[in-house]
Amino acid sequence: MLIHDIVLSLQYVALLLVSLGNDTVMRILILFFLVLAPLVDAVAATRVDSLYRCLDAAIADSSAFIAKREDAIRRIRDKYVHTGEASTRYVVALELYEEYKPFMNDSALAWLGRARAEARRCGDRAGENRCLALTAYQCSNTGMYTEAVDILSTIDKSALGGDGLVDYYMAYNHLYGELGYYCKVRYLKDKYFALAHVYADSLLAMASPDSDIRLQLLETTAYNKGDYKEALRYNDMRLKLAMKDSYRMAIVAFYRYLDYKMLGDTDEWKYWLAMSALLDVRNAVMDQAALWELANSMYLRGEIERSYRYINFASACASKFSTRLRNQQITPVMQVIDNMYQMQNRRENTYLKAAIVLTGVFMLIVLAFLVYLTRQRRASHRLNSEMKQMLDSLDTSNRRLTATGNHLNDAVANLDESNRVKEKYIGLFLRQCSSYIDRMDAMRRDVFTMLKAKRYAELYDMVKNHDFRDKEQEELFEIFDSTFIRLFPTFVDEFNQLLNPDSRISLPDQAKLTTGIRIFALIRLGIDDSSKIAEFLHYSVNTIYNYRAKIKNGAAVNREEFEDLVKAIGLPKGVVE
């Protein structure tokens, strides 16, 4: 309903804009509705199709819903058996009647009989006569109109209480409404409807303003007068009162379907008819009007397979409910749908036979084609073998060329890296040599000056002091460290990745290497002889060996491959010096 309300609102806005007489606005509106209309239809169709899928699932699981109702009946029956007071048994018997009312007609009538007997036992005249009114309603609801008339004629109206009087008027209203609906004689039809209206007026006078009975009567009255929008308005009120997924809501949904059908709103009446049928199945209602009505509408739309399933399920439910009226209503529809279903099956079988024949012919053609292909394959097998050998040879050559190319690429990358490092360190060496020459010349001049001035003691102290050497060595290390870090900025991090977490080395000063890192920095530069490393760092060979062994003991990789992996730091992937 919300979808259509939106469309109506948009139509109102469209009419308002059209009244302005603007041609551009008109074109925009036409384009807008051309786009909107299919979207609205698609949403509505999806909504109904989703409900049909829910209904199919509910029918497949109907035994669980029936078991649930039977379990509820069993619990109430146990309460009835274990209750001694007649007044309480009367109330429990009416509860059982309400459970059986849409489930099994014979049992519903039987429990009304027991309730009446219990009311008689405790001297409840109002309860006894109310049971008669309920029995008459049940009879008229299932096509037993003569029985309903006879029962109603025996009721002592003066003995009825408030609820009993409502049930009494309801029974008469329903009886004459049913007689009027099915009667073919015009004057009798009018008479029955007039009597139904009389009892409806009596009911309206008694029922509370917001009761479902009163709203149902008002909806029915508006419907019979042809005022379907008014009927729908009363149905809106009933829908708010009905408990979600209840049997009462199934009834309200069915009335809503009737209202929308008379209003010509196809999407809505399809939805509410399916909703009513779904709630009937979920509430294990055997007295189903919605499902066989839905089956009939689907048959008229050409949905034969689904309508056949629905009408068969509705027929099985009617048999369980056990009333003459429902069987009479369903049988003609079922016969028509069954005939159409059988006709469709015969047509499909004919198509299937034709498809089988065509498939057989096609298979023969395919078989002949396979024979032809087999001969062609035999003829070309020798050629294919020769070509395969050639391709294998080419593939082998390509793999060799690829491997050679990879080796060359590795070698080029290695050379490039080596050249880069060599260039840096040659430049460093030349600058350092030039610096040393300048310093030695300065020292020479200082020595010459001291000798000339006969400052032998001062000269002796200067030569004896090691501060000069230590300072020069420290400066050399600083230059080496800074140059190496610039060349290999990630060396320390990658070096630590080769070590276990507890053996990794952290630099207190990020611009200065530790002795251990400096040793492996020299190894990275290609100086892996311990004696040469010891000479450069001014340590003993044994000390250098101990440093190397200690660090390799903490390696997270193969100890034998550790130094090769160090030499590969900073090179492209797969390149090892």
> pLDDT truncated to tens, each residue of the chain (577 aa)?
444 454 445 444 554 554 555 555 555 555 544 444 444 444 456 889 999 999 999 999 999 999 999 999 999 999 999 988 999 999 999 999 999 999 999 999 999 999 999 999 999 999 999 999 999 999 998 889 999 999 999 999 999 988 899 999 999 999 999 899 888 899 999 999 999 999 999 999 888 888 899 999 999 989 988 999 999 999 999 999 999 999 999 999 999 999 999 999 999 999 999 999 999 999 999 988 899 899 889 888 888 888 888 988 988 888 888 766 655 555 666 566 655 656 665 666 666 767 777 787 778 888 888 888 877 878 777 776 777 777 677 677 667 766 655 655 654 455 465 556 556 655 665 566 666 566 777 777 777 787 877 787 777 777 666 677 778 788 888 888 888 888 888 888 998 898 999 988 888 888 889 888 889 889 988 888 989 888 888 889 999 999 889 888 888 898 888 888 988 887 766 555 5
CA distance 548 to 563: 9
Please, are residues 175 and 148 in contact by the beta-carbon 8 Å criterion? yes
Q: Name 186's Cβ contacts closer than 8 Å, sequence gap at least 6.
A: none
Give the DSSP letter of residue 537: H
- Helices and strands of the chain, counted as H and E runs: 23, 0
Q: What span, in angstroms and rounded, lies between the C-alpha atoms of 392 and 389? A: 5
Residue 285 in contact with residue 101, Cβ under 8 Å?
Answer: no
For residue 521, give the amino acid letter: A
Alpha-carbon gap, residue 193 to 225, rounded angstroms: 12
DSSP letter at 528?
Answer: -
The per-residue DSSP string of 228-269 comes to: HHHHHHHHHHHHHHSPTTSHHHHHHHHHHHHHHHHHT-HHHH
Q: Count of CB atoms within 10 A of residue 243's CB?
A: 8
Q: Specify the amino acid at residue 100.
A: Y
Contacts of 106 (CB under 8 A, 6+ apart): 322
Torsion over CA: 123, 127, 132, 135 (sign): negative
Cβ within 8 Å of residue 210, ≥6 positions away: 237, 241
- How far apart CA 154 and CA 159 sit, in angstroms, is 12
Residue 349, pLDDT score: 63
Q: How many residues does the chain have?
A: 577
Q: 485: which 2 tokens?
A: 């870090």
User: Would you state the pLDDT for residue 35?
Assistant: 46
| CA torsion, ordered 402, 406, 412, 417, to nearest 10 deg | 160
Report the C-alpha gap between 257 and 322 in whole angstroms. Answer: 25
Strand partners, 555: 499
State the pLDDT at residue 16: 52
Tell me which DSSP letter residue 572 carries: P
Amino acid residing at 32: F
CB 501 within 8 A of CB 542: no
> What is the SS3 assignment for 555?
strand
Domain range list for the chain: 2-60, 466-567
Rounded Cα distance between 279 and 290, Å, is 10
Structure tokens at 306: 């689904």
DSSP bridge pairs for 499: 555
DSSP state of 15: H
CA distance 96 to 79: 10
- Alpha-carbon gap, residue 140 to 173, rounded angstroms: 10
pLDDT of residue 350: 67
